[in-house]
Structure 1
Amino acid sequence: MSSDTATITKAAPAADSTTTTTRGTTRPRRRPFGPRAGLVALAVVLSAVSVFPVLWMITSSFKTRATVTDGKLLPADLTWSNFAYVFTEVPFVRWLFNSFITAAVVTAVALLFHSMAAYALARLKFPGRDGIFVVIFSTLLITAPVILIPLFVVVRTLGMLDSYAALIIPPLFNAFGIFLLRQFYLGIPKELEEAAIVDGCGYWRVYWNIILPLSRPILSALSVFFFLANWNAFAWPLVATNGADLTVIQVGIASFSTQYGANWNYVLAAAVVAVIPMLALFLVFQRQMVESIKTSGLK
C-alpha cells in the first residue's frame, strides 16, 4: 500500500507556479501588482499632463484681465463678464453658425461620397482600379499648405471666393476617409453581397441596404474626425473668405486677439465656448470611435 502511494506521488506532475487549483478547476495566477502599479501611475501622469492645459484654459476664462496671466490655476475673483463680452460685443453667434454649417455639410457630403468611392475601389472590378487607389492614397503625402495657393487660384477662377461654396467644396475631398473605408469594406464577407445579387439586387441597392448599415461604426468615427477638422479649420477659411458674415470660429478668435491685443481673458472665454461642441460630440461617439479603430487595426 505504501509503495503504491509512493509511486502515485512520484508520477504526479508538479504544480505549475502560474496556476492555482481549487476543487479540480485551474485558474491563472494574478500578475504581480508592481508592474501594473507602474503602468497605472504612468497613465495618471500622462492624463494629467494632457488635461492640465484644458483645465487651465477653463479656469482662466473666468479671470479678469489683470489676473489671467498670474500663473495660478484657480481664479481669485470669479467673473462671468468675459463670456458676456464675447456674446455681446462681437458677432460670436454668427461665427459659431458659420463653423457649424460648414463642418456639418462637409461631414455629411464627404461621408456619402467617400463611402461610394471606397465601395467601388474595394468591391467593383474595372480597369485601372488599383492605379486610381494608389493615386488617391498618394495625396496623403501632400500637406495642405503646399496646395493652398493653387487651390485659391482654382476657387477664384470658378468665382467661389467669399461664399459658402468656398468653405464647403474644397474640403470635401479627403483621401484619408476613402482609405479607411476601403480597408473596412475589404473585411466585409463577400457572401453577403453575392446573396443579395442572387436575389436580384444591383450594386446601388447592395451599397445602400447592406454596406452602409454595416458601416455605421466606421462612419461614426469618421464623422467625428471630419467635423473636428472642419470646425478647427483656420488657414483655408482665412484665405477663401474676407467678409464678416462668413467668418468661422477659429478665424474669429484669431482676429479677436489681434484686435484687442493682450485681452487674453476674452480669447480664452471664446475658446472655451468653441470647445464645448467638440467635447459633446466626442462623448456621444466615443464608443463608435474605439470600435472602428479596433476593427481597422485588426484588419
Structure 2
Amino acid sequence: MTATSALTSVNPTHRPGGYGAGSGTGTTARRPGLARGILRTPVYVLLSVASVFSVLPFAWMVIASTHETKDLFGTPLPVLPGGALWENLARLQESVNFSQVMLNSLVIAVLYTVFSSVVSAMAGYGLAMYRFRGRGVLLAVVLVTMMIPMQVLLVPLFQMMASAGWIDSTQAVILPFLANAFGIFLMRQSFLDFPVTLVEAARIDGASELRTFYRIVLPVARPQLAALVIYTFISQWNAFIWPLLMLNTEDKYTVPVALNTMIGMSRVDYSGLMLGSLLATLPLMLLFLVFQKQFVSGLLGGAVKG
C-alpha cells in the first residue's frame, strides 16, 4: 500500500494535491457570501442614516426638556442635557396638573382599548364565521367608513353628545368611536383562516356562541388581537380634536389637550412642552417595546399562508 492510498483510507476526503486542492472549495463557498455582503452595504448605510435621523428629534426633545426656554434659542444650541429638569417638571405640574392629566389619559385609553377591542373582535368573528345575505355589502360599508374624514363627523357627533347631556364627560370621548373599522377588518382577516369544523364541533358539544368565541376561537387570534390593542391604545392616547371638543374642565383634560393649553398668545413654555411631550411618549415606547413581537407577528399574520 502506498502512502497516498494509506492517507485516503484513513481520511476519505483527502485528495492528492494537499491543502491547496481543498482550499479552493472553501474560497468558492465564501465568494457568494462576500458578494452578498458587498451588495447589502449600501442598504445598511442607508438604514443607519435613516435611523440616526429618526432618533434625532427624540434626542433633541430629551435635551430640550432639561434646559430653560431661553437656552433653546441661544447660540450655539445645547447638545448636552442641562440642569433644569426638576424646575421644568415642577412648573409643568403647576401649570397643567400633569399627574392628573396623565391619569385621565390612561383611564380613557385603557377603557377605550378594552371595549373597542372586544367590539372589533366580535364583529370580525361574525363577518368571518356567519353566512348571511348581505355579508359582503356590510363589510364594504364598514370599510367605506374608513374613507370618511374626521372633520365631517365632528358636528353631528357633537350634537348627539350635547343632546344626550354628555358634554365634558369621559363616555363622550370613548363611546362614539368604539366600532373601529380597521380593527373589525383586521380581526375578520385573522378569523378567516380558523377551521369552521372546530366551531361546528363546539356547537354540537353544547357550547354557546360566546363560549365558543372566547374559549376556542379568540385564543388563536392572540397575535392579531395584541396588534389591535397596541394600535388602539396609541391612537386614543394621541387623540386631540375630539377630546378638545368634549372636555371643558381642566381636571378632565387628556395629555394632548393639556399640552395645547401651554401655548399662549405671547409666550410659549417650550421646555415645559418638550418635557410634557417626553413624558407622554414614554408609556407608548414602553408598551411597544414590551409587545413589539406580538405587534409585528399580528400585522404579518395574514401575509404568509400555511
1:78 aligns with 2:83: yes
Q: Report how far residue 73 of structure 1 moved.
A: 5.0
Q: Give the root-mean-square deviation of aligned CA atoms.
A: 2.1
Equivalent of 2:57, from 49, 53, 63? Answer: 53
Structure 1 unaligned blocks of 5 or more = 1-19
Aligned to 2:68: 64
Is the partner of 1:204 in helix, strand or coil?
helix
Aligned to 2:41: 37
**Is this contact kept in 2: 1:220–1:285, CA < 8 A?**
yes
Question: Which 4+ stretches in 1 moved above 6 angstroms?
Answer: none
The aligned amino acid for 2:139 is F
**Is this contact kept in 2: 1:56–1:73, CA < 8 A?**
no
**Is this contact kept in 2: 1:63–1:75, CA < 8 A?**
no
Distance 1:271 1:75 in 2: 18
Q: Report how far residue 21 of structure 1 moved.
A: 6.1
Is the partner of 1:67 in helix, strand or coil?
helix
Aligned to 1:247: 253
Aligned to 1:291: 297
Distance 1:156 1:42 in 2: 52
Equivalent of 1:171, from 151, 166, 177? Answer: 177
Stretch deviating more after TM superposition (170-179 or 200-209): 200-209
Aligned to 2:200: 194
**Is this contact kept in 2: 1:160–1:166, CA < 8 A?**
yes
The aligned amino acid for 1:56 is W
**Is this contact kept in 2: 1:110–1:173, CA < 8 A?**
yes
Indicate how the Cα distance of structure 1 residues 76 and 165 shifts in structure 2: closer, same or farther if over 3 A, else same. Answer: closer
Is the partner of 1:233 in helix, strand or coil?
coil
**Is this contact kept in 1: 2:96–2:258, CA < 8 A?**
no
**Is this contact kept in 2: 1:60–1:75, CA < 8 A?**
no
Aligned to 1:156: 162
Q: Report how far residue 94 of structure 1 moved.
A: 1.3
Distance 2:94 2:72 in 1: 21
Distance 1:69 1:280 in 2: 31
Q: Report how far residue 72 of structure 1 moved.
A: 2.7
| Structure 2 length-normalised TM | 0.85
Show CA shifts across 1:207-252 (max 9, x none). 1111111121111111111111111111001111211121111000
**Is this contact kept in 2: 1:62–1:75, CA < 8 A?**
no
Aligned to 1:7: none
1:207 aligns with 2:213: yes
Distance 2:203 2:185 in 1: 25
The aligned amino acid for 2:219 is P
Distance 2:32 2:112 in 1: 52
1:225 aligns with 2:237: no
Distance 2:275 2:266 in 1: 14
Q: Report how far residue 258 of structure 1 moved.
A: 2.4
Is the partner of 2:108 in helix, strand or coil?
helix
Distance 2:42 2:275 in 1: 37
The aligned amino acid for 1:35 is L
Indicate how the Cα distance of structure 1 residues 212 and 187 shifts in structure 2: closer, same or farther if over 3 A, else same. Answer: same
Distance 1:44 1:73 in 2: 24
Show CA shifts across 1:40-75 (max 9, x none). 111111111111111111111001121123463524
Indicate how the Cα distance of structure 1 residues 264 and 118 shifts in structure 2: closer, same or farther if over 3 A, else same. Answer: same
Stretch deviating more after TM superposition (218-227 or 82-91): 82-91
Aligned to 1:9: none
Distance 2:141 2:31 in 1: 51
**Is this contact kept in 1: 2:259–2:273, CA < 8 A?**
yes
Stretch deviating more after TM superposition (267-276 or 64-73): 64-73
Structure 2 unaligned blocks of 5 or more = 1-23
Is the partner of 1:298 in helix, strand or coil?
coil
Aligned to 1:117: 123
The aligned amino acid for 2:83 is L
